[in-house]
Amino acid sequence: MSQKPNRESLIRVAEMFRVFSEPTRLAILQLLKDQPYSVNDLVEQLETSQANVSKQLKTLYEADLLFREQRGNQVFYSIKEKMVYDLCELVCDKLNRSARASAEVFYQI
Amino acid sequence: MSQKPNRESLIRVAEMFRVFSEPTRLAILQLLKDQPYSVNDLVEQLETSQANVSKQLKTLYEADLLFREQRGNQVFYSIKEKMVYDLCELVCDKLNRSARASAEVFYQI
DNA sequence: TGACTATATCGCCAAATAGCGATATTTCTG
DNA sequence: CAGAAATATCGCTATTTGGCGATATAGTCA
Please check whether residue A37 lies inside any domain of the structure.
yes
pLDDT tens across A46-84, in order? 999 999 999 999 999 999 999 999 999 999 999 999 999
Please check whether residue B2 lies inside any domain of the structure.
no
Which residues span the domain enclosing B49? Answer: 7-108
Q: Shortest CA distance to B55 belongs to which of B83, B17, B28?
A: B28
Residue whose Cα is closest to the C1' of C18: A52
Please check whether residue B1 lies inside any domain of the structure.
no
pLDDT tens across A12-52, in order? 999 999 999 999 999 999 999 999 999 999 999 999 999 99
In this structure, what CATH number is given to the domain that contains residue A95? 1.10.10.10
Look at B92 and A10 and tell me if their CB atoms are within 8 Å: no
Q: In this structure, what DSSP letter does residue B55 have?
A: H
Q: In this structure, what DSSP letter does residue B33 have?
A: T
Q: Give the total number of structural domains in chain A.
A: 1
Residue B74: phi, psi to the nearest 5?
-115, 160
- CB B92, CB B83: distance < 8 Å: no
Tell whether B76 is within 8 A of chain A (Cβ): no
Look at A20 and B14 and tell me if their CB atoms are within 8 Å: yes
Please check whether residue B32 lies inside any domain of the structure.
yes
